[in-house]
Amino acid sequence: MSHLADLDELAQGDLSGRRLGRYRIRHKLAEGGMADVYLGQILGEKGFERWVAVKVVHPARTQDPQFAHMLADEARLIGRIHHSNVCSVIDFGIDQGLLYLVMEYLHGETLKAAMRRGWSEEGAFPAWLAARAIADAARGLHAAHQLTDREGKSLGLVHRDVSPENILITYDGLSSVIDFGVLRARGRRAKTAAGVVKGKLSHMAPEQLRGDPVDRRADVWSLGVVLWESTLGRRLFRGENQGELVEKVALGPITPPSAITPSYPRELEEIVMSALNRDVSERTPSAKTFAHQLDKYLHGLGRPAGCAEVSRWMQSVFSDRLMVREELLVAPEDSGPLTLGIDDDESSTNASIAGPVGPTSFAPPLPSDRSGLTAVDTPAARAKAQSADPGNEIDSALEELRRKDRQRSAILSVAVFVAIGLALALGFVLLR
């Protein structure tokens, strides 16, 4: 058996329990056509440990110099980005003939999984949550777009594959951009061959499809597609084949969201349509501007729509998968292979998302709504929510104490006035 065949047999199994470099491989998280992702550990002195995600490349790809250069570029460039909304790259290496990339472990689910879980099990995916997650991702992309070389010159980095699969929402409510595998940047060693298009056609900017030069505004277009789809519950561009899909992305009509859902907020529609302008010079100029526009929109909703609210929704809707992920972090090393399994939400990239979009989809949950799901803001709903909130019981008790204090103060004041009046009257009688 050849060395490559040995590697293939090794990689097609489960690497749990093995070591790659200084990393202990614990459990398989996901399988892919080019690489598998494992939950790994860095073990140090005095009980130090850190969880990481280890992407292990399939051996056939390891032998491909072009792919190896592409992965090395991703590690070299993204390893220089330090931003809370970008999944950081920690290490890159080869051991036992296996090429691997070590990344920050993000305890959460992709936006794609959240969308599918919301529609399939909850009957709705909150538009406010989509706006919050995409605003976070836009800030991470802006940090990548701003990357410079040692002389301070822009590297012109473009992600080129922004999609719901590459935005990850943690159970703490923060969203990050992941997988810069097809990025474009000045000075990159691995080049895309002429005529080869990399990325997902349905989320790709028209200029990228045409093979024209692209800049950060191509990622803004992709963010616009993701926002359109995640707030409307359907695909923006669909085709029976790749040729038809390409034609629709390049030339097809872009339906304004309000034409589908009359209750769609005007301000949010303006943000979406500005990002989806095929004229690059008229498109939203940067991911930073896009994030600021979404922040302004969310602030105008008048309710909190931050990490706490996103976290509450994620932990409620993904309670089953959260339980499994938590178990992976505490399972002993001798527990044998444990896998997270593939969520039904991730079964098909091309499956449509579908569901009715109502006006309450755009409103963040009431602060007292423990589920994190969108609530209807009516007087009856508010009264019910307030009665169900233990915090309101404390407020009511404090208010009752204050009321009694006010009553006692009033009684005491009246008594003092009466006493003074009686004293004055008695003095007047005595003087006479």
Residue 383 is predicted with a pLDDT of 47
Strand, coil or helix: 371: coil
Average pLDDT (279-303) is 96
Section 395-409 average pLDDT: 58
- In this prediction, residues 315-334 reach a mean pLDDT of 83
Q: Which are the contacts of 108, defined by CB distance < 8 A and separation ≥ 6? A: 168, 169, 170, 171, 172, 314
Q: Give the number of other Cβ atoms within 10 Å of residue 109's Cβ.
A: 23
Q: Greater confidence, 39 or 122?
A: 39
More confident of the two residues 341 and 361: 361
161 is a catalytic site residue: yes
170 strand-pairing partners: 108
CATH fold label, 108-325+358-376 = Transferase(Phosphotransferase); domain 1 (1.10.510)
Cα 140 from Cα 4, distance rounded (Å): 38
Residue with tokens 């339906």: 255
Q: What is the pTM of this model?
A: 0.76
Give per-residue pLDDT as tens, 150-161: 888 998 999 988
And the tokens for 341? 């399994």
Least confident of 16-30, 107-121, 218-232, 378-392: 378-392
Rounded to whole angstroms, what are the CA distances from 182 to 56, 69, 199, 390? 17, 12, 7, 50
Structure tokens at 314: 């994620």
Does domain 1-105 fall into CATH 3.30.200.20?
A: yes
Q: What is the mean pLDDT of residues 126-138?
A: 96
Instruction: Give yes or no for residue 245 having a pLDDT over 50.
Output: yes
Q: CA separation (Å) from 338 to 107, 128, 329, 356, 419?
A: 16, 35, 11, 37, 82
Active-site annotation holder among 36, 73, 136, 161: 161
pLDDT of residue 375: 37
pLDDT greater at residue 215 or residue 74: 215
* Calpha distance 321→401 (Å, rounded): 45
Instruction: Mean pLDDT check: name the lowest of 199-213, 282-296, 305-319, 374-388.
Output: 374-388
